[in-house]
Each structure stands twice: as structure tokens, then as C-alpha cells.
Structure 1
Amino acid sequence: MHDFSSILNALISFATGYFVFRLKSDKNSHNFLKDDLNRADKELYQKSKEIERLNNKIRRLNDEIDKLKRGEQ
């Protein structure tokens, strides 16, 4: 009976340790995913600003083309 109790206690200790390890690793995974998401969000914001800048440049160039066309007619 003593051996069974020792084995059972060892299994419970192992299971508890494994469970705590999994909780910590899941939290770390969550933090890594959150960091990746924040990084991607910043990159997306920068790209959207770049696209906005390029669209403004295209709009100015189109306006310039329209002015030149009107001047030729």
C-alpha cells in the first residue's frame, strides 16, 4: 500500500508540475502572439500612411496632368 501511495503522490506531483508548466508556457505564447500582433499592427499603420502619402502624390500628379491638358487645348 505504501508503494501505491508513493506512486500516486509522484504522479500527482508530476501532473501538477506539468499543468503549471503548461500554464506558464501558454502565457508566454500569448505574450509572444500579442507582441507579434502589436508589431504587425504598427507595420500596417506605417504601410497605410505610406499608401496615403503615395495616393496624395498621385492625386497631385493627376491634377498637374489635367492642368497641362487644359493648357494645351
Structure 2
Amino acid sequence: MLKDSKKMRAGWRAARIQMLNDRDWSKSEEMKRENKRVDLENRWKIKRTESANNITENRRKKRKRRRKAHYSNR
């Protein structure tokens, strides 16, 4: 008797979860799409800033090299 009621309770819980999932499915799909779009935007932003950082870093390195050359040629 106890086992049966437990089984029924578990089944009811699964059915309820399934129902909630079905109801939220369209919403979650929309959110997934939105998240993907935001991720792409962010990836683009990150890439852009990274390339800018590389450019400034290279400039710094060049400057340093020039200074070194200047001192070693004395």
C-alpha cells in the first residue's frame, strides 16, 4: 500500500514537471535565441578589444626596441 502511494506520488510529480516544461518550452526557446545573440555580440566585442590591445602592445614593443637600439649604438 505504502509503495503504491509513493509510486503514484512520483508519477504525479513527473507529470506536473512535464506540464510545466511544456508550458515554459516556448519561453525557454526564445531565451535561448536571445542568449545566443548576446553571446555573438559579446564575442565580437571581445575580439575587437583584443585586437586593439595587441596593436597597442606591439607599438609599445617597437618603442622599446628602438630605445634599446639607440643605447646599444653609442
- TM-score calculated relative to the size of structure 2: 0.67
Match of 1:18 in 2: 24
1:37 aligns with 2:43: yes
2:54 corresponds in structure 1 to 48
Give the RMSD, CA atoms, in angstroms. 1.8
| Identical residues among aligned pairs (%) | 5
- Mapped to 2, the partners of 1:61 and 1:27 lie a distance apart of 52
> One-letter code of the match for 1:62?
K
Whether 1:63 and 2:69 are equivalent positions in the alignment is: yes
**What do residues 11-50 of structure 1 show as CA deviations (whole Å, max 9, x unaligned)?**
59x82x5211111101101111111111111000000000
TM-score by length of 1: 0.68
Aligned residue pairs, count = 56
